[in-house]
Amino acid sequence: MKRKLSLLSGLCFLATIALAQVKGTVVDETQLPLPGVTVTVKNTKTVTTTDPNGAFSINAPSNATLVFSYIGYISQEKQVNGNTLRVVLISDSKALNEVVVTALGITKEKKTLVYATQTVNTEELSKARELNVVNSLTGKVAGLDVVRSSSGLGGSSRVTLRGDRSISGNNQALMVVDGVPLDNSTAQAGRVNGGRDSGDGISSLNPDDIESINVLKGASATALYGSRASNGAIIITTKKGKQRKGVGISYTAGLQIEQPIFLQKFQTEYGQGASGIFSASGEQSWGPKLDGKMVPTWSKDPADAGKTNAYVAHPDNFRDFYSNGTNLVNSIALNTGTEQAQVYFSYTNTNATGIVDNNKLKRHNFNLRASGKLGERFTADLKATYLNQDIINRSGVGGGNDNPNLGIYRVPINIAPEDLLNYDYINGSGFLRQNYWNPGATAAANPYWAKNRNLADEERNRLTGFASLTYKILPSLNVMLRSGIDRYTDNGEFKWYNDTYVIAPQGDYQLNTRDVREINHDFLFSYNQNLSKAFTLSANFGGNIQKNDIVTTGTRNNSLIIENLFTVGNTNGSTPTRGIYQKEKQALYATADLSYKNYLTLTVTGRNDWSSTLPKENNSYFFPSVGLSALLSEMYKLPEFISFAKLRGSFAQTGNDADPYNLSQTYTSFQGGNSVTIGRDATKPIPGLKPEITTAQELGLEARFFNSRLGFDFTWYNSNSKNQLLAITLPAGSGWASQYINAGNIKNDGIEFTLNGTPVKTSSFKWDVSVNYSKNNNKVLEISPTLNEFLLTTAGDFMNTVKIVKGKPFGELYSRGYLRNAGGQIIVDANGLPVISGAQDVYVGNTRPNWTGSVINRFSYKNFFTSFVISARMGGVVSSFTNANIYADGVAAKTAQNRDGFIFDGVFADGSKNNKQITAEQYWKKVGGRNTPAGEVFTYDASNIRLREFVLGYNLSGKLLNGKPFQSASISLTGRNLFFLLNRAEGFDPEQVIGSGNSTVGIEAFAPPTTRSFGLSLNLTF
């Protein structure tokens, strides 16, 4: 009996030991608790989930293994060694360093890739946020170049990878969101003479919804996307619902203050007039020195007749025109899910005001995504995103009279800010008129009139989304069907009040509508199988149908019968317009990765496109790619300090079709009196049009050392783009003005280098540093058999001509300039003034940078974190139409020098030294001004280095959250574009240009002051 009791007691004791209660917490890498994590005793049905504080409790044998799984994080296994565990899960955004999203949404192990790709840390996107999310990528990707329009809130940006390839086509990277291409076009027409920027497609994407960003740079990486991705692709994956207990709520609030950076310097010694004589109607500032005496008022308001003003400096009239802008964001996201189904919903409200205070943006983003399993074999994924955006008074760009920046730059220093505010008046006939010191001026306006009497309201409604269904045919084979849509409508209303000089002296009213629709239908078979112990095959076969439709309509009154009554019918001669753009492309593609022992991977792809814009005999074009990656660290026994080493190489071709309607003659109808006239368009068709083809090669070496504490990625690439589509001028007797031809060969080659390291890593402190560097060499090998030059700019640009020149890089800039003798000395005329060329034929430099780079530092200490980005864009030139005008006006600081006379450093035509004295007024009026400026004088080195981004934050956790309704919280102080470490442009930001086209890089014209932002961001999860 005693033996039985003893045995029973022993069994109970062993059972107690075998099924101990294991407790613990699960946190993420920032030490924030993770609620809803599934905790399973491996190989059993025992399961639990973590509570809102990340804590769990489970009964498990003492020798058991616990499996921790959470959607969006890498699963982890932990041996039960004791009764308490602390588990840190790594998020998928970090896992993307090993598994990345590639073309068509296919995920691959990064170590097997045969081409260069770079992931972007997305954590700072919603903290140090930008209204246009691509501006946040500056300095974070080697080989990526971003310049932005100067139009204000919601302006477009130009994003290129590895240089320019297409002479007259699109050179921007393709934007792909959740596998569906996003239309990123813009109806911009920025020129030095004036124009408008309507914004781009990517600017409306909500950064709070972004889960990951992966940049595919070369042709091998993007070959599966076909012709539209010949310039690289930016792959954006948005957030999905996660398996969890209950409903997770996250809230983000952010406030950014945009502060103007006043780089331009103005003189404060001289006022209105010319040749030292005061003139109350003078637009320029070559009058006498400011002495405080009373002078007649400039105001044309009858109420001001006979008034006088003190002739003194008002140094703040430029600064007072601008104010601090704001960007207030509130975002809430809900996510919930089970193992079978997950849902994610978010709403973001954005309210922003520009530094010109009547420039406002209101944006509403709604996002809904649902995914889940439908039985054992089907998986569905559905997403719908709706955007409503309204931008009020986005300013014109360039030198148009409706750009308020033009007026404020040119204001004489003796005009008081409070007097400028009296920008209009009622004349004797009872009509509203502009109050300006020189009525009817051809290139000026009271800046407050331009701001308040030239009004714009631009609304965008956009719906994007997709529906996909995946069927698991076999354990190793599945097929996905997907349809995606991107549909948006832009409605613009523009008002010009009567007495807007030159562009609308009798007023004007314009309505524009742009309806854009892109539909994509895809199918994709995916096969993954271990063929043997040594070989693994991963293959895909699919197809795509892409349909694009763009319809633009508009009407412009040209003048108003009843002054300032803004209706379509208030005109004697309106101009209606309508344009259509229709295009279809069909494709079949395939890719296969064959791996040998997981260290040698051969990748082969092929795609064939059929384009509706090409003739039947040329509308089918095929482009292949092949690449090989070798994990040297797996193939050979390397020194222990080498953690990882990989060599890769690839060859690829991509194509690029053309815009529609080039194959046959087109016609345009227009009003002619009481009838309609149909006229033949001036472009001769090209029935034998061919697709543009880019052939590229790439080699790369990746390595990591000292347990991955130090690593680098080096890439060399080379590409040639042939069969460019060019419009050449035809003789007048031909009956056509121009004709498109297939010609041209542009070469790009260069290097990209990234360096990553963790110099310090302790239990409480970590320092990560990254360095990006890229240098692209571009050369135009051929234009056509009969052309050695091709103009990118349209005729009529006052100052610049951007050319493609055989044997030179893309984007050569020409302008007027000094005439020089054979020895390079500047020639002066008989009066001692420099002789300026009559045409824009003086080379002033190339507009593209020589190299770009950045240094990114990230620090964490316990719950504190900080990061900063220093970026460099070195080389290239930038031309300033602003400076050409304000120097001729005598308002720029340098124009205060030499007003009493100086001798210009030059020689007469016979070679003798110049000895004629001239004044600063004579000199600056000779080389500057609006109509025929010498751009050579106002072209600068575009090199700049700046503190691009700064974040300082704190994660609240542990005891600080006890008893609080939320599970985690963080607060951050942020800054963007804080200051320049180097800026060789005089008085402006060289990255703020007139538009996002091929010909606008390196050209500045009456841009508003660049800005720095300071922000506060709060993130809460419930």
607 lies in the same domain as 687: yes
Interval 189-223: pLDDT, tens: 556 777 778 788 888 788 888 988 999 888 877 87
**For residue 269, which of 884, 901, 897 has the smallest C-alpha distance?**
897
147 lies in the same domain as 70: no
212 lies in the same domain as 337: yes
**Percent of the residues in the chain that have a pLDDT greater than 70, as a whole number:** 95
395 lies in the same domain as 520: yes
User: Whole-model pTM?
Assistant: 0.88
CATH number of the structural domain spanning residue 998: 2.40.170.20
In the chain, the number of structural domains is 2
753 lies in the same domain as 859: yes
Which tops the pLDDT comparison, 843 or 2? Answer: 843
| Separation between Cα atoms, residue 322 and residue 712, nearest integer Å | 45
- Phi/psi zone of residue 922: left (φ > 0), alpha (ψ -120 to 50 degrees), beta? alpha
Q: What is the DSSP string of 438-481?
A: STT-TT---HHHHHHSEEEEEEEEEEEEEEEEEEEEETTEEEEE
Lowest mean per-residue pLDDT among 304-308, 614-618, 629-633, 979-983: 614-618
220 lies in the same domain as 368: yes
Q: What is the DSSP string of 118-145?
A: EEE--TTTTTS--SSGGGGGTTTSTTEE
Looking at 70, 88, 106, which one is the last position of a domain?
Answer: 88
Looking at 51, 70, 88, which one is the last position of a domain?
Answer: 88
Range of the domain at 48: 19-88
Task: Please report where in the chains the tokens 């009996």 appear, as a residue.
Answer: 1
* Main-chain dihedrals φ then ψ at residue 6, nearest 5 degrees: -65, -40
Q: Give domain status of residue 1004, yes or no.
A: yes
User: Residue 353 in 3-state DSSP?
Assistant: strand
Residue pair 461/486 in contact by the 8 Å Cβ criterion: no
Interval 288-301: pLDDT, tens: 999 999 999 999 99
Q: What is the dihedral of CA 300, 302, 307, 313, to 10 degrees?
A: -30
Residue 516 confidence class, pLDDT cut points 50, 70, 90: very high
73 lies in the same domain as 139: no
Interval 748-800: pLDDT, tens: 999 999 999 999 988 889 999 999 999 999 999 999 888 899 888 766 688 99
What was the pLDDT predicted at 507?
94
146 lies in the same domain as 24: no
Mean pLDDT of 253-276: 96
* Main-chain dihedrals φ then ψ at residue 13, nearest 5 degrees: -65, -40
Q: Give domain status of residue 320, yes or no.
A: no
Interval 569-619: pLDDT, tens: 999 888 888 999 999 999 999 999 999 998 999 999 999 999 998 898 988
Q: Give domain status of residue 695, yes or no.
A: yes
| Separation between Cα atoms, residue 571 and residue 298, nearest integer Å | 33
Q: Is the pLDDT of residue 999 over 70?
A: yes
Interval 476-500: pLDDT, tens: 999 999 999 999 999 999 999 999 9
User: Residue 339 in 3-state DSSP?
Assistant: coil
Evaluate the CA torsion angle 157, 162, 168, 173 in order and state its sign. negative
Q: Give domain status of residue 293, yes or no.
A: no
| Separation between Cα atoms, residue 803 and residue 826, nearest integer Å | 25
Q: Give domain status of residue 869, yes or no.
A: yes
**For residue 162, which of 121, 107, 215 has the smallest C-alpha distance?**
215
Question: 61, exposed or middle or buried, with CB in 10 Å at 0-12, 13-18, 19+?
Answer: middle
User: Which tokens belong to 337?
Assistant: 């899910």
CATH number of the structural domain spanning residue 75: 2.60.40.1120
Residue 14 confidence class, pLDDT cut points 50, 70, 90: very low
Q: Give domain status of residue 297, yes or no.
A: no
- In 10 A of CB 118, how many CB atoms? 20
Looking at 88, 105, 125, which one is the last position of a domain?
Answer: 88
What was the pLDDT predicted at 371?
93
- Which DSSP category does 933 fall into? -
Q: What is the DSSP string of 718-732?
A: EEEEEEEEEEEE--G
What was the pLDDT predicted at 901?
95
Residue 71 confidence class, pLDDT cut points 50, 70, 90: low
Residue pair 766/758 in contact by the 8 Å Cβ criterion: yes
**Percent of the residues in the chain that have a pLDDT greater than 90, as a whole number:** 61
Q: Give domain status of residue 828, yes or no.
A: no
Rounded to whole angstroms, the maximal C-alpha distance in the chain is 132
What was the pLDDT predicted at 258?
95
Element (H, E) at 177: strand 174-177
Residue pair 99/90 in contact by the 8 Å Cβ criterion: no
Mean pLDDT of 366-377: 93
* Main-chain dihedrals φ then ψ at residue 404, nearest 5 degrees: -65, -25
User: Can you list the positions of beta strands (E) in 657-764?
Assistant: 667-672, 675-680, 683-684, 692-705, 710-729, 738-761
134 lies in the same domain as 61: no
User: Residue 408 in 3-state DSSP?
Assistant: helix
User: Which tokens belong to 237?
Assistant: 């994956």
Q: Give domain status of residue 306, yes or no.
A: no
657 lies in the same domain as 704: yes
251 lies in the same domain as 352: yes
| Separation between Cα atoms, residue 810 and residue 750, nearest integer Å | 14
138 lies in the same domain as 211: yes
- In 10 A of CB 617, how many CB atoms? 10
